[in-house]
């Protein structure tokens, strides 16, 4: 099987679903969830005051090879050109074997904040001396994870100066296996808090995970051929554009937003927590005291473009929405992932492909050419242009040289539809 699906974008939605079903062995029931609304009983269990559901387009990025495996990547996203850009970046990476990625062990961190501590030096020594008692409480709270080979992995003690005074913070490290891990980690924090309060003489205040999952970092890399990118000058300009983002927070914010366009779409499609992923990624980008690029681009000894991304990705393939949402289950089956780490490796590769495509467009023709064509089509549909005439209206709008707008689409359509 290959993720190269020439002409896939020209098929109807129904034809694409048939092709995906054959590719991933999806049943008719499974593939149908790509277009069906979430059942009422599931919606009512997920959130409060349910009145319906809100759908996003679910597309598939093609051309990906990650760690030697061909992958079709489901992406839930509302922004035009995101999936096309990811697919194009993946296609450019294929000549040199696609993406190589590695995910660290799925260790999440719980924080227990202790206030009113009488002596911080003594408190820290007592925490370390009470390691066995802390471990017993943590392992009891994470018994399910312990059975699956995960569970408690140790602790770290910090002091933090705040505007309301100094506090002691204990980090508890938990291997959450193939889960995102929030509920398990929070349970460990709450179970260990009384032990920590007792040995420090303080009061346990906050007991909760951190979404800055810096123990769970994923790295992905690829080499892009200089000739396929447009030659050595284009490679040099991509590196210059990246260096700008790495130096300037104003540029880095938009640069990293583009990275997350790809990653978030994979996270959404698989039922994971994109807000947690976003928060962790941006904290990671600022970890050196200056908000920087999540990616790195250099020219290698052959004159080709070497690219890398690293960021924390706390993703799961079991539990939560990944278990409850049938479309998320179908997306995971389409991906063919066997672990949360493998899912994170693919998501990071998508972010890198997305970023490469954006930078190449920015330093050559500009970002608007391809994006505006898709945007114009959306505007035409919103203006009421029949689907079979949208392309005609788009061509007229773009050839006029004006910025596409809904009113412009309507004017063009009225002209074309006039007797």
Q: Which residues are catalytic?
A: 79, 257, 273, 371
In sequence order, the β-bridge partners of residue 74 are: 60
Could you identify the residue written with the tokens 């959450």?
Answer: 176
Q: Which residues of 344-355 are buried (b: 16+ CB within 10 A; e: fewer)?
A: bbbbbbbbbbbb
Tell me the Cα Rg of the chain.
24
Work out the number of other CB atoms within 10 angstroms of the CB of residue 51: 5
Contact yes or no for 315/268 (Cβ under 8 A): no
**Secondary structure class of 387 (helix, strand, coil):** helix
DSSP state, 315? Answer: -
Give the C-alpha separation, 112 to 133, whole Å: 16
Give the C-alpha separation, 402 to 130, whole Å: 70
* Residue 50 token pair: 């349910």
**Chain centroid to CA 184:** 21
* Residue 79 token pair: 């922004």
Nearest to 207 by CA among 158, 170, 173: 170
Contact yes or no for 221/99 (Cβ under 8 A): yes
Q: Which residues of 91-106 are buried (b: 16+ CB within 10 A; e: fewer)?
A: bbbbebebbbbebbeb
The Cα diameter of the chain in Å comes to 89
Give the C-alpha separation, 217 to 283, whole Å: 12
Q: Please give the full DSSP string across 50-98, using - where no structure is assigned.
A: --------EEEEEEEEETTEEEEEEEE--STTHHHHHHHHHHHHGGGTS
Could you identify the residue written with the tokens 């193939």?
Answer: 178
């Amino acid at each position: 099987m290959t993720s190269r699906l020439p002409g896939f974008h020209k098929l109807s939605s129904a034809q694409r679903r048939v092709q995906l079903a054959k590719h991933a062995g999806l049943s008719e029931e499974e593939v149908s969830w790509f277009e069906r609304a979430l059942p009422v009983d599931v919606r009512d269990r997920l959130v409060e005051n349910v009145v319906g559901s809100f759908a996003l387009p679910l597309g598939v990025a093609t051309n990906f090879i990650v760690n030697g495996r061909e992958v079709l990547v489901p992406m839930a996203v509302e922004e035009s050109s995101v999936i096309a850009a990811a697919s194009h970046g993946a296609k450019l990476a294929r000549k040199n074997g696609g993406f190589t990625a590695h995910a660290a062990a799925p260790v999440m961190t719980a924080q227990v904040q202790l206030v009113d501590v009488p002596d911080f030096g003594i408190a820290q020594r007592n925490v370390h001396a009470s390691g066995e008692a802390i471990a017993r409480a943590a392992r009891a709270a994470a018994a399910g994870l312990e059975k699956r080979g995960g569970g408690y992995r140790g602790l770290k003690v910090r002091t933090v100066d705040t505007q309301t005074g100094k506090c002691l913070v204990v980090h508890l490290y938990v291997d959450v296996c193939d889960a995102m891990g929030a509920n398990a980690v929070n349970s460990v924090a709450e179970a260990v808090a009384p032990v920590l309060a007792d040995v420090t003489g303080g009061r346990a205040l906050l007991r909760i995970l951190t979404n800055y999952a810096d123990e769970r970092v994923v790295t992905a890399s690829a080499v892009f051929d200089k000739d396929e990118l447009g030659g050595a000058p284009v490679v040099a300009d991509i590196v210059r554009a990246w260096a700008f983002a790495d130096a300037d927070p104003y540029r880095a914010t938009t640069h990293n937003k583009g990275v997350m366009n790809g990653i978030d779409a994979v996270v959404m499609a698989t039922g994971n927590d994109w807000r947690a992923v976003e928060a962790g990624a941006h904290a990671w980008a600022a970890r050196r005291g200056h908000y920087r690029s999540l990616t790195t681009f250099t020219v290698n000894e052959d004159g080709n473009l070497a690219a890398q991304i690293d960021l924390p990705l706390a993703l799961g393939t079991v539990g939560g929405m990944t278990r409850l949402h049938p479309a998320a289950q179908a997306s995971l089956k389409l991906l063919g992932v066997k672990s949360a780490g493998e899912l994170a490796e693919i998501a990071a590769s998508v972010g890198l492909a997305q970023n490469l495509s954006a930078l190449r467009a920015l330093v050559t023709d500009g970002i608007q050419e391809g994006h505006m064509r898709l945007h114009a089509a959306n505007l035409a549909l919103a203006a009421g242009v029949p689907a079979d005439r949208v392309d005609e209206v788009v061509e007229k709008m773009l050839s006029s040289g004006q910025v596409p707008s809904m009113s412009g689409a309507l004017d063009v359509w009225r002209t074309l539809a006039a007797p």
